[in-house]
Amino acid sequence: MIRITNMMQNNSLVRNLNRHQVAMDETQTQLGTGLKIRKPSDDPGAATNQMYFRSRLNELSQYEENIGDGYQRLQQVDGVLDKMGEIFQRVRVLTVQAGNGIYQGDKGFELEVAIGKEIDQHLRAIVDLANARDATGQPLFGGHVIERPPFEPIESKIKGLQGLELKNQYVGVEYRGDIGEQLREIEKGEYIPITIPGNKVFWGTNVSVTSKVDNSAFQATSDQKFKIDGVEIHISVGDTIDDVIDKINNAPLEVKASKLAQDNISISSTAPHQIWLEDVDGGTVLRDIGLIEPSASEPPNNFSKSATVTGLSVFDVLIQLRNDLIQKDQERIGGRDLGDLDLALENILRHRATIGARMNRLEQHEERVSYDKMYMTELLAKNEGIDFPETIMNMKWLETIHSYALNVGSKIIKPTLMDFLR
C-alpha cells in the first residue's frame, strides 16, 4: 500500500493548478490572436502547411500585380496600334482619291501636293507613335533597349515638280531597338510577352536579302553558329551552302532561304519584319556567304553593302507615297503605293489581333489567380485559425475545472500550527 502524505497532496494540487493555468493561458492567447499556432513546435505539420500557404499567397499576389501591369502595357500598345490603323485608313482614302485621278488639271496638281503634305504629317505622327513610352518612361516598341527612342528619323531635302525643293523632309527612319520582348510572369514558369518589338509591328512588306557572293565553293571550316531573328542555327564543319539553306528552312523562323542561279543565297521573310542577322561566338558564316557586312556585324542595319535588300517599313511606305504624290506619279500611286499600304495595314491589324489575344489570356488568368488566392486564404484560415465557439467553450470548461480544483484544494490542505495560533 502506498502511503499518501500531506506533502504529496499539496504537490499534486499545485501541479494540477499550474497545468490549468498553462492551458488557460494558451487558450486565452488563441482567443486574443485568433491563431492556434504561435511557433512551429506547437504543431510541426500544420506549421509546415502554414508556411506553404503563406508563400503561395505571396506568389499569387505578385502574379496579380504582374497581370495588372502587363494588361495596362498591352492596353497602351493596343491604343497605339488603334491610332496607327486610323491614320493608315485615312491615308488609304487619300491614296485612292489621288490614284483614281479625281483631281485633274492645275487645281489637281495643287491638291495632290496638298495631299502629299498631309501624308508627310501622318508620317511624322506615326514616328511619334512608334517612339511612345509607358508610364515609367520606357519605350513601348524598343525591345530591351530603353535608353533611347527606338526609331530615329533621317531628315533631308527632296525635289518636287518644277524644280521645287522641299527641306526638312523625312527621307528614312532607322530602327535602333532590338528584337527582345518584355515579359511578365503570370504563374510559376509561365510568361507572357507584353510588348512587340518595333522591327515587327512597324514593317509594311516582306523583306528579302540576296547575297552577291558566289557560294558554290563555300564549306564551313569549323563548328559555328549564327542567329536569325534570335534563333540559333548550328553549322558543322564541312557544311556547304545547301546545308546552311536546309538548316535555315528547318528552323522555327518566319524566314525562308533559297539558292539562286549563281549559287548566291537569298533569304526572305514570310511575314513582314526586319530580318535580324548576326554571327555569334566568333562565327563568320553570314559574313562569308555575303549576307552581313564584316565591319558592322551587329544588327540592325548590318546587311552587306554588296547584298540586295528589298522590303519597306511602314515609314518607307508613307515616304514612298508622299514622294510619288509630290511627283504626281499617278500610276505608282494607284498601283504599287496602294498595294504596299494595304500590306502595311494588314500587318498592323495582325499584330493588334495578337495583342487582343494576349489581353484575353490575361483576363482569364486573372480570374484563375483570384480564385486560387481565395481558395488558398481559406485553407490558411482553416490551418492556422481557431474555431471561436469551440475555443470559448474550452476556456469556460478550463475556468470551471480550475475553480473546482481551488475549492477542493482548500479542503485538502490540512490546518497548520500557525492556523491554531490565530
The single residue listed with the C-alpha cell 518584355 is 182
Residue 192's SS3 state is strand
DSSP labels, 375-402:
HHHHHHHHHHB--HHHHHHHHHHHHHHH
Tell me whether strands 190-193 and 277-280 are parallel, antiparallel or unpaired.
Answer: unpaired
Query: Which backbone phi and psi does 254 adopt, to 5 degrees?
Result: -90, 45
Gap between the Cα atoms of 70 and 362, Å rounded: 8
Are residues 290 and 210 in contact, defined by beta-carbon separation less than 8 angstroms?
A: no
The residue among 180, 185, 205 whose CA lies nearest residue 195 is 180
Write 41-44 long-range contacts (CB < 8 A, 24+).
none
Gap between the Cα atoms of 90 and 78, Å rounded: 18
Q: Which three cell numbers stand for residue 318?
A: 508613307
pLDDT band at 327 (very low <50, low <70, confident <90, very high): confident
pLDDT score, position 269: 95
Residue-averaged pLDDT of the chain: 84
Q: What is the largest CA-CA distance in the chain?
A: 137
pLDDT band at 193 (very low <50, low <70, confident <90, very high): very high
pLDDT score, position 26: 72
> pLDDT tens digits for 348-405?
999 999 999 999 999 999 999 999 999 888 887 776 656 567 667 776 777 777 676 7
Are residues 265 and 289 in contact, defined by beta-carbon separation less than 8 angstroms?
A: yes
Percent of the chain topping pLDDT 90: 53
Mean pLDDT of 217-228: 92
Q: Which three cell numbers stand for residue 135?
A: 508610364
Mean pLDDT of 102-114: 58
Any idea of the CA torsion for 364, 77, 62, 371, to the nearest 10 degrees?
-10
| Between residues 158 and 66, the one the model is more confident about | 66
Gap between the Cα atoms of 324 and 304, Å rounded: 28
Gap between the Cα atoms of 250 and 231, Å rounded: 11
The secondary structure element, H or E, covering residue 20 is helix 6-33
Q: Where are the alpha helices (DSSP H) in 264-337?
A: 285-288, 314-327, 330-332
| Between residues 32 and 85, the one the model is more confident about | 85
Mean pLDDT of 212-230: 92
Q: Which three cell numbers stand for residue 10?
A: 499539496
Write 315-318 long-range contacts (CB < 8 A, 24+).
315/123, 315/126, 315/127, 315/130, 315/151, 315/153, 315/170, 315/172, 315/173, 315/202, 316/172, 316/173, 316/204, 317/204, 317/205, 317/341, 317/343, 317/344, 318/91, 318/119, 318/122, 318/123, 318/126
pLDDT band at 167 (very low <50, low <70, confident <90, very high): confident
